Structure 1
Amino acid sequence: MSLDALRAALPEYAADIEQNLGLVFTGSSLSEQQLWGTAVAVAVAARNAVVLRELAEDLAPEVVTAAKAAASVMAMNNVYFRAKHMIGSELPARLRMRVVARPGVDKIDFELWCLAVSAVTGCEVCVVAHNDALRAAGVSAEAVNDALRIAAVVHSAAVTLDAEQALARG
């Protein structure tokens, strides 16, 4: 992974983010696949090409594909279920979500990635549902917390680099 390149790209004012990138990727309770898949799913959701390229580098293609699928399906679900919750609708979704049943990676890994993306996009309904599914499957509170920490820091790096790129264009 090119975490060092991503950390080096951050400006001085984002020193906390640079340090946190180092912290969240070391000593995590998540497996390597869970950790890097979470980062890639969040990078997709954050829509930052630099962050996505740096974090997806050297990952197995099936992990990158599944992480992209998690971000893609959650882009739809987070909008729909957040809005449905706001208006109090109880109508059925009638949306296809087959990838959730067969993500191409371990189901728990995919759930972690969906949780992280949902945290970034702010869908309370999805965050709660994915947390509940993970906890029911025996995933520790520490692992859930680690996925949320990764989501927060990767998203922050993406926002910071977007701001720098926008200001550099003058």
Structure 2
Amino acid sequence: MSESTEVIREILNTIHADPEHRTPALLLLEQGESRYLRDLKLNFSSILNSEYLSQKEIGLLALSIAVNERNDLMISFFKKFAAEHESSQEEIAEAAACASLLASNNVFYRFRHFTQKEKYSQIPARIRMQIMMKPVTGKEFFELMSLAISAVNGCEMCVNAHEDSLIKMGATEERIFDAVRIASLITSTGKIIF
């Protein structure tokens, strides 16, 4: 067995997937004996630990990104990971809901930002966002998930607004940075394993 195949099996075992599972992208890396597979493995394992986020928060944040990226393997893994670290079914559902809500917000506010027309800022959004008012995960953590999803989706206006809210709530820059780091690694892993 090649080193690449061995590393792929280790990654897939970590996420409780069939060790023989291959995506077209994973096959390219395996057939090319890519050194990147070692980076992918180490990057993914670094998601599971943080000085600034609890294991429960990591699970919920990662789940929200996996839902945003429509990655079934990651959704399954992080749903289980979140549940194993004391996340309730309501909190797990809210992580998925956050991804859905932010998908609409990111498109809408990115449009407003890109066009830079005052008129569009005056027209009501008419997007229902009640979940943001009393999130079961708490206001600060819901903002953190919202920021991470907005960073993945590339909404500058949303990133700035959520980051500002988090700082005002007392979140540290290190906590914010780590949430975005985790979101970036879930996204990059999801390009290869889905």
TM-score interval (norm. to shorter): 0.7 to 0.9
Are residues 146 and 109 of structure 1, via their aligned partners in 2, closer, same or farther at CA, if it must alter by over 3 Å?
Answer: same
Q: Which residue of 2 aligns with 1:67?
A: 95
Q: Scaled by the length of structure 2, what TM-score is found?
A: 0.76
Using the aligned pairs only, state the percent identity. 34
Q: Scaled by the length of structure 1, what TM-score is found?
A: 0.86
1:33-52 correspondence runs (5 A): 33-52=56-75
Q: Which residue of 1 aligns with 2:113?
A: 85
SS at match of 2:75: helix
Give the Cα–Cα distance (whole angstroms) in 1 for the partners of residues 175 and 50 of structure 2: 11
Structure 1: runs of 5+ lacking an equivalent: 163-170
Contact 2:50 2:178 in 1 (8 A): no
Query: How many aligned residue pairs are there?
Result: 161
Structure 2: runs of 5+ lacking an equivalent: 1-11
Give the partner amino acid of 1:37.
Answer: L
Contact 2:147 2:163 in 1 (8 A): yes
Give the Cα–Cα distance (whole angstroms) in 2 for the partners of residues 32 and 52 of structure 1: 16
Does 26-35 or 43-52 show the bigger shift? 26-35
Q: CA deviation at 1:32?
A: 2.4
Larger radius of gyration: 2
Are residues 3 and 113 of structure 1, via their aligned partners in 2, closer, same or farther at CA, if it must alter by over 3 Å?
Answer: farther
Q: Which residue of 2 aligns with 1:150?
A: 182
Are residues 16 and 87 of structure 1, via their aligned partners in 2, closer, same or farther at CA, if it must alter by over 3 Å?
Answer: same
1:9-20 correspondence runs (5 A): 13-20=36-43
Q: CA deviation at 1:121?
A: 0.7
Q: CA deviation at 1:24?
A: 2.8
Give the Cα–Cα distance (whole angstroms) in 1 for the partners of residues 13 and 135 of structure 2: 25
Q: Which residue of 2 aligns with 1:29?
A: 52
Q: Which residue of 2 aligns with 1:166?
A: none
